[in-house]
């Protein structure tokens, strides 16, 4: 636990410094590179918090693709921010009030890492128990796989959330239990590609 805290605090300090640099610098190309560094540090923080799938995605997407998109767009629009650097005091007031309100809301929250927090005891133990039991049970035992999909349990649905023996719990949740959500998420990505084609293809050909 002390090693975790030390690494966590060091990385959070670096993150605060990086975000202040991204806020303050007026050369937008430098800000894009600093955002890439911010994404990479964030991915390390998540790795420290045992979130490897999320860290992988953020490193690939945030520190990779997003930087390429930023630099590409900055080449097209110009990379210097105009105007004098000045502090916008009404914005600072609003941000301060929001921060105080949010901090007041965190006073009731459980400590980080608490195994008895409500988020750990409500639904997650059932997912985890099903995955671990399926791994330890041999795959030659079809009777241990839960109710067939046609038959429903006493609560009106099959008694197990999913049948398979897939070790990665996050992939199980995303692709199996919540497969419909992931279908529409892929549709969102596809829509982003279509939007870019509609907005930008044909710029070089004249109006």
Partner 1 sequence: MRVWELYNYWIFILLMMIGFYTIIAKPNLVKKVIGLSLFQTAIFMFFISLGKVEDGTVPVAVSFATAYSNPLPHALILTAIVVSVSTLAVALAIIVNIKDAYGTIEEEEIHKAQED
Partner 2 sequence: MEDQVILRIVAKLMIPFILVFGFYVIAHGELGPGGGFQGGVVLASAFILYGIVFDAQRMRMILPRGVSDALASAGVILYALTGLYSLFAGYRYLDYSPLKPSDAAIAESWGMTLVEYGVGITVAAVMVTLFNELVEGTVKKG
Interacting residues of 4 by C-beta distance below 8 A, sequence separation 6+: 48
Q: Nearest 5°: phi and psi at 80?
A: -120, 135
Which of 78, 85, 142, 156 forms a contact with partner 2 (CB under 8 A)?
A: 142
**Please, what is the end-to-end C-alpha distance for the chain in angstroms?**
61
Chain residues 126-165 in contact with partner 1, contact rule CB under 8 A = 127-128, 131-132, 135-136
Segment interacting with partner 2, rule: CB under 8 A, options 11-19, 73-81, 102-110, 121-129 = 73-81
Distance CA 162, CA 141 (A): 15
Three-state DSSP state, 27:
strand
Binds partner 1 (CB under 8 A): choice among 2, 3, 84, 111 = 111
Closer to partner 2 by Cβ: residue 75 or 94 = 75
Q: Which of 2, 84, 107, 150 binds partner 1 (CB under 8 A)?
A: 107
Nearest to 45, CA basis, from 79, 69, 14, 18: 14
Q: Tell me which residues in 180-199 interact with partner 2 (CB under 8 A).
A: 180, 182-183, 186-187, 189-190, 192-193, 196-197, 199
Residues from 151 through 170 that contact partner 2 (CB under 8 A): 162-168, 170
- Cα dist. 152→12, 133, 145, 160, 166 in Å? 48, 21, 14, 10, 23
Long-range contacts of 59-66 (CB under 8 A, 24+ apart): 62/36, 63/36, 63/37, 63/39, 66/35, 66/36, 66/39
Binding range to partner 1, per CB under 8 A, among 15-23, 137-145, 146-154, 156-164: 15-23
Q: With CB under 8 A as the contact rule, which of the stretches 71-79, 137-145, 148-156 interacts with partner 1?
A: 71-79
Residue 102 or 151 having the CB closest to partner 1: 102
CA angle in degrees (0–180, nearest 5) for 196-199-204: 105
187 binds partner 1 (CB under 8 A): no
* Residues at the interface with partner 2 (CB under 8 A): 52-53, 55-57, 60-61, 64-65, 68-69, 71-73, 75-76, 134, 139, 142, 145-146, 148-150, 162-168, 170-172, 174-176, 179-180, 182-183, 186-187, 189-190, 192-193, 196-197, 199-201, 203-207
């Amino acid at each position: 636990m002390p090693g975790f805290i030390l690494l966590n605090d060091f990385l959070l300090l670096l993150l605060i410094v990086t975000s202040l640099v991204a806020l303050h610098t007026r050369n937008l190309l430098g800000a894009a590179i600093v955002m890439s560094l911010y994404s990479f540090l964030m991915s390390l923080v998540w790795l420290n918090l045992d979130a490897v799938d999320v860290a992988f995605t953020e490193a690939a997407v945030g520190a990779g693709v997003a930087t390429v998109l930023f630099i590409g767009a900055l080449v097209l629009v110009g990379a210097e921010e105009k105007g004098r650097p000045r502090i916008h005091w009404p914005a600072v007031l609003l941000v301060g009030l929001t921060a105080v309100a949010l901090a007041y809301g965190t006073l009731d929250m459980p400590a980080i890492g608490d195994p008895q927090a409500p988020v750990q005891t409500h639904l997650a133990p059932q997912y985890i128990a099903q995955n671990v039991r399926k791994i330890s049970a041999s795959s030659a035992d079809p009777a241990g796989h839960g109710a067939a999909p046609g038959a429903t349990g006493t609560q009106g649905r099959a008694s197990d959330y999913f049948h398979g023996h897939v070790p990665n719990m996050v992939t199980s949740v995303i692709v199996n239990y919540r497969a419909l959500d992931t279908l529409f998420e892929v549709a969102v990505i596809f829509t982003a590609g279509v939007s870019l084609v509609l907005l930008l293809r044909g710029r070089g050909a004249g109006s």
